[in-house]
Amino acid sequence: MSDIINLLPENIANQIAAGEVVQRPASVVKELLENSIDAGADKIILSIKDGGINFIQVKDNGAGMSETDARMCWERHATSKIKNAEDLYKINTLGFRGEALASIASVSQVEMKTKKNDQALGTEIKIEAGIVNYHEPTNSSVGTIITVKNLFFNIPARKNFLKSQNIETRHIFDEFYRIALPNPDIEFVFYNNEKEIINLRKTDIKNRIIDILGKNSKGELLQVKEETEIIKITGYVGSPEMAKKHRGEQFFFINGRYIKEPYFNHAIQTAFEGLIPADNFAFYVLFFEINPSKIDVNVHPTKTEVKFEDSKYIYSILLSVVKKAIGKYIISPQLDENSMFKFEASTKPEHELISKFTDFRTKTKFNPFEGDIKQNKKQSFEKLFEGFNTDIIETIKPEREENIKPQTVEKQLFEKEFRYIFDNFFQLKGGYIIASREDELFIINQQSAHERILYERFLKSDSLNRIPIQILLFPRIIEFKHADFELINSLLDEIRQIGFDISPFGNNNFVVNGVPTINDKTNPQLTLEGLIENYRINEQKPDISKKENLALSMSKNTSIKMYDILSNIEIEELLTDLFNCEQPNYLPNGKPVFIKFSNGNILDLLNKKF
């Protein structure tokens, strides 16, 4: 048998390595920005076009490269950052594997100009699919400009795998923020399709966080600071009101490197336990400084996972410093800082806990146990529904207009709408409406009912059929973080159809002139923020259209809640609207809106019990 093993040619080996390092345009952005930081730049300009798929450029004023290094840096395992195995234990640069540039060049068309500050002339290089085809002296300023064009042009399968330009742009924003956040002493400018969209001046860390994540409408940034022999932890956590339903605002950086670390995240969630709803995520931007010999950043090619030698110890320090920061914020200074954490939410009646807590509250109106209460209610509702066979649930439709005997117009409307459906109804404290007609009994979840109604209404709205707008007496200007601003901009038509009179108003701001006439208790800012938050969560679902996503997110954010007390008129309206829905029985996610017992079911049930 002849031998069959070959060594792979260099360019194929690089392409394979690129599979790990370069997953999408955002990975290129990450590697280039990190290199600029490692080169000591204090001003970095990122430009992208078309979601970075066709064009990414990073320009820095860092150290630049000599003519030879300008050629060398494109080779695999070419790095200036480590020289021997020992150096692996004292890495204080973001890069060190010497793989990024080689990988990027193997799957794109790259141009680079670079110059060191002691050189008269710089160097220009052009590479296509890993092959250098131009290498000449050039005039350029000190620092490096790298342009990456047509990513994956030579690997169509990878290119097809990329998502829409909008989604790729969003990934780039994520990487950009992760790099700009821990480096407030570097100025960053970001151009998207030739438009300057972000300009981050040099500042301190707190202001960099605010510049990137926006001034939150509620809550405060709480400082965290602790230094032990093993670790220094600095940064900020958001006060409980800043918690969100998605993970977007959680950042750990270890020696300046963004990492995902579920174990430490758990420590923080634990510190917030009982203070935020169980399904919410706390806000935090935290920096760990650790002796590089105590961690191993080599476990993941994109270096977002890190191994720690003392992770249990770090967990407990983290838990205690975060608790301390929250404790200072919520409880007045004379109170024992730790006592709040001794309350056992499950063993005391809710009202007792709340009053105990409110007595001590100082700064905010935040009700620390609100989330739990809602959660408990939700759970008990689900429990209630668990016991019953879903067969019991049937669609009921209101009788149609034609069945109504001719009467006065007023009476006709009234009857058509409701009365003949139910003989009796009342609201049960805790968010359920009990209604009966003849031998049937309905238990209706009021929040779900309203969500169903609004969902159908929003879904049916279009440019001709807009949700009515209530004009605000005073227009509101609302600032969003940049990514949210962009998202709203891309949904502007649809958002107007569902009843917002809203227009862009300069730097990351929108002016809101009118809001949907649905629920006059809603606050435009919280509604829009909640809308965007839910929208992002729903985006994870496959095949969800913009319209459906907006209808889902909007109905969640504007519906009445379980703890809202309703007047009889409001209950009537709710029941009418619900049973005029095309599908009153279920929420879009399949959860029942009500359960119905007929006389037969009730007797069955009673026979089992008595």
Binding residues for ligand ADP, rule: CB under 6 A, are: 31, 35-36, 38-39, 60, 62-65, 73, 78-81, 95-101, 144
Of the ranges 30-38, 179-187, 387-395, 447-455, which one interacts with Mg ion (CB under 5 A)?
A: 30-38
Least separation in angstroms between residue 146's CB and Mg ion is 11
* Residue number with CB closer to ligand ADP (100 or 179): 100
Least separation in angstroms between residue 171's CB and Mg ion is 19
Burial class (CB in 10 A: 0-12, 13-18, 19+), 238: buried
Q: What is the dihedral of CA 113, 117, 120, 126, to 10 degrees?
A: -10
CA 95 to chain centre: 27
Which tokens hold the place of 264?
């430490």
Residue type, position 533, single letter = E
Burial class (CB in 10 A: 0-12, 13-18, 19+), 296: middle
Residue 108 binding partner per list Mg ion, ligand ADP, none, with a CB distance cut-off of 5 to 8 Å that depends on partner kind: none
* Residue number with CB closer to ligand ADP (185 or 273): 185
Is residue 93 close enough to count as binding Mg ion by CB under 5 A? no
DSSP character string of 443-485: EEEHHHHHHHHHHHHHHH--SSSPPPEEEEEEEEEEE--HHHH
Least separation in angstroms between residue 208's CB and ligand ADP is 21
Least separation in angstroms between residue 136's CB and ligand ADP is 19
Least separation in angstroms between residue 377's CB and ligand ADP is 53
* Residue number with CB closer to Mg ion (79 or 508): 79
Strand ranges across the sheet with 257-259: 221-227, 231-238, 284-290, 250-254, 257-259
Residue 81 binding partner per list Mg ion, ligand ADP, none, with a CB distance cut-off of 5 to 8 Å that depends on partner kind: ligand ADP
Q: Are 251 and 259 in contact (CB under 8 A)?
A: no
CA distance 292 to 104: 27
Residue 372 binding partner per list ligand ADP, Mg ion, none, with a CB distance cut-off of 5 to 8 Å that depends on partner kind: none
* Residue number with CB closer to ligand ADP (61 or 448): 61
Pick from 51, 52, 64, 95: which binds Mg ion (CB under 5 A)?
Answer: 95
User: Which residue, chain included where needed, has tokens 């800043």?
Assistant: 242
Least separation in angstroms between residue 256's CB and ligand ADP is 14
Is residue 27 close enough to count as binding Mg ion by CB under 5 A? no
- Alpha-carbon Rg for the chain in angstroms: 30
Residue 278 binding partner per list ligand ADP, Mg ion, none, with a CB distance cut-off of 5 to 8 Å that depends on partner kind: none
Is residue 73 close enough to count as binding Mg ion by CB under 5 A? no
Mark residues 489-528: x for contact with Mg ion by CB under 5 A, - for none: ----------------------------------------
Q: Are 472 and 522 in contact (CB under 8 A)?
A: no
Is residue 100 close enough to count as binding Mg ion by CB under 5 A? yes
Count of Cβ atoms closer than 10 Å to residue 528 Cβ: 25
DSSP character string of 206-265: HHHHHHHH---SS--EEEEEEE-SSEEEEEEEE-GGG-BSSGGGEEEEETTEEE--HHHH
Which tokens hold the place of 583?
């599908």
- According to DSSP, residue 406 is labeled P
Residue 145 binding partner per list ligand ADP, Mg ion, none, with a CB distance cut-off of 5 to 8 Å that depends on partner kind: none
Least separation in angstroms between residue 197's CB and ligand ADP is 22
Least separation in angstroms between residue 495's CB and Mg ion is 40
Q: Are 213 and 225 in contact (CB under 8 A)?
A: no
Binders of Mg ion among residues 31 to 50 (CB under 5 A) are 35
Residue 97 binding partner per list ligand ADP, Mg ion, none, with a CB distance cut-off of 5 to 8 Å that depends on partner kind: ligand ADP
Contact set with Mg ion (CB under 5 A): 35, 95, 100
